[in-house]
Amino acid sequence: MSENITIQINTKKTVYSTIKDTNTQLYLENNINAITEYNVNNMISAIDVFDIERQNTQIYRIYGSIDYLSILNGLNVNYKTLDDFFTNTKYIPDNIYINYTTKNIFNSLDFYLVKPSTGYTKIGDSNDHITYIKNYEVIATPHNFELYNAGYSKNIYNELKYLFNFNIDFDVSTYLDGFDIPITELYLYYVYKPRNNGLNQVEYMKSTEWDLITKDKSLVTFTPQSLNIGDVIYGDKIEHSKLDILDVLIEEQKYYIGTPYNDNGITRNLEWVYKPLIPFKLRYFSNEIKRCNISGTTYDDISKIPYYATDIGNGNMIWRDILPQGYIDPLTNIGVDYPFINQRRYLFNNKLLSIIPNLEHLNTYNVFKEINFNTAENINYKPITKNINDINEPC
């Protein structure tokens, strides 16, 4: 292409002019070369692409199993006396769990999925700590919750176990807590549904509240209402450390259920207690706190500061990194490794719902204090007489 060519002007051309080729000839060659395996892997790595997609995707599908343990599970709907609480109705037919003659997980509880709310109720403040009530926002209602009998699965009390599934996905990339820090947990929130017993006596419910000034705890009667997406519920008492970027649980929210019954013409109550918020762990923050000063620091260092870093003054920013999916910290043994497919992380959990007697309630304490168990019996058994050297040999 660097060849010099002389082109004659048209006005100078004559029949005697020398014929000159003004085109450069290009010569094409066709050689066959094999593409080696090394070059293919160098272009794209399926493992690298999978990991990049896994780390960047923050969409979760949540499902799991539930074991419901409570005397209320199987209680006759029309209970009248104290004996009804201890009458064995749970083990008769398996479909006892889907009819309405007994209290069960299907007709006594409503299930929601909630996340930490962007707001909180402050009840105390110091230089380095904030005491506050952690509020929760509804992101899925009972319409999004599916519950099934878990086949032939039963617990040690011969009661059925259950499987659950939220039929929508949850993109947590925009979920921040009250301090604008990415959330690490979602919560299964379940609410008991009070009703009348056979004597037209009304069950009641109470929740825990803390005074904004004295921080004292009190129990407040409430009537559960159907919740919609975006509604906020009152939660746990938390202490937030500004310098450690850490929340410490001071006291959990508890709900109390009162079940009235007739005692020789006198109406009494048994009271039950449970924790309505059960966490689903999404991810963990690193144990290491990082610090960077944005005054005079290089761009490369500043670009590593996450958007949720806390400004502690004088240009100093502190934060904790979110541990990558699939990484387990060898020192603290924390981390998550959830299956990832179809651009979603699949989070399976085994959850225990436990509604137990409230032994701080005087009548409930007195009732359960008087329960007598049968005398222990000796179990007949045939002791092993084989020599230890005969282990693994035919009997």
Q: What is the pLDDT of residues 236-263, one digit of tens each?
A: 999 999 888 889 999 999 999 999 999 9
Is there a single domain that holds both residue 195 and residue 223? Answer: yes
Contacts of 280 (CB under 8 A, 6+ apart): 62, 185, 186, 187, 188, 347, 349
pLDDT confidence of residue 19: 57
pLDDT confidence of residue 358: 96
pLDDT confidence of residue 97: 46
Q: In which band, very low, low, confident or very high, does the pLDDT at 105 lie, cut at 50, 70 and 90?
A: very high
The count of other CB atoms within 10 Å of the CB of residue 340 is 18
What mean pLDDT is reported for the chain? Answer: 84
Is there a single domain that holds both residue 77 and residue 144? Answer: yes
In a domain, 111, yes or no: yes
pLDDT confidence of residue 7: 61
Q: What mean pLDDT is predicted for residues 278-288?
A: 93
In a domain, 29, yes or no: no
Q: In which band, very low, low, confident or very high, does the pLDDT at 375 lie, cut at 50, 70 and 90?
A: low
Q: What mean pLDDT is predicted for residues 7-12?
A: 61
In a domain, 310, yes or no: yes
Is there a single domain that holds both residue 203 and residue 309? Answer: no
Residue 322 has pLDDT above 50, yes or no: yes
Is there a single domain that holds both residue 329 and residue 210? Answer: no
Q: What mean pLDDT is predicted for residues 83-90?
A: 77
Selected residue with higher pLDDT from 284 and 50: 284
Count of domains in the chain?
A: 2
In a domain, 390, yes or no: no
pLDDT confidence of residue 219: 95
Is there a single domain that holds both residue 277 and residue 302? Answer: no
Is there a single domain that holds both residue 241 and residue 292? Answer: no
pLDDT confidence of residue 242: 85
Is there a single domain that holds both residue 321 and residue 355? Answer: no
Is there a single domain that holds both residue 265 and residue 337? Answer: no
In a domain, 143, yes or no: yes
In a domain, 156, yes or no: yes
pLDDT confidence of residue 92: 45
pLDDT confidence of residue 96: 46
pLDDT confidence of residue 292: 85
pLDDT confidence of residue 90: 53
Q: What mean pLDDT is predicted for residues 344-360?
A: 94
Q: How far apart are CA 270 and CA 106, in angstroms?
A: 22
Q: What mean pLDDT is predicted for residues 12-27?
A: 63
In a domain, 265, yes or no: yes
Q: What mean pLDDT is predicted for residues 83-104?
A: 66
pLDDT confidence of residue 88: 63
Residue 386 has pLDDT above 70, yes or no: no
Residue 187 CB-density burial (10 A; 0-12 exposed, 13-18 middle, 19+ buried): buried
Q: In which band, very low, low, confident or very high, does the pLDDT at 94 lie, cut at 50, 70 and 90?
A: very low
Residue 371 has pLDDT above 90, yes or no: no
pLDDT-wise least confident of 61-65, 275-279, 301-305: 301-305
Q: In which band, very low, low, confident or very high, does the pLDDT at 29 lie, cut at 50, 70 and 90?
A: confident
Q: What mean pLDDT is predicted for residues 363-368?
A: 94
In a domain, 12, yes or no: no
Q: In which band, very low, low, confident or very high, does the pLDDT at 389 lie, cut at 50, 70 and 90?
A: low
Q: What mean pLDDT is predicted for residues 156-165?
A: 88
Is there a single domain that holds both residue 352 and residue 342? Answer: no
Q: In which band, very low, low, confident or very high, does the pLDDT at 293 lie, cut at 50, 70 and 90?
A: confident
| Residue 314 belongs to domain spanning | 288-346
Is there a single domain that holds both residue 69 and residue 201? Answer: yes
Is there a single domain that holds both residue 331 and residue 362? Answer: no
User: Tens digit of pLDDT for each residue in 128-143?
Assistant: 889 999 999 999 999 9
Is there a single domain that holds both residue 194 and residue 240? Answer: yes
pLDDT confidence of residue 153: 82
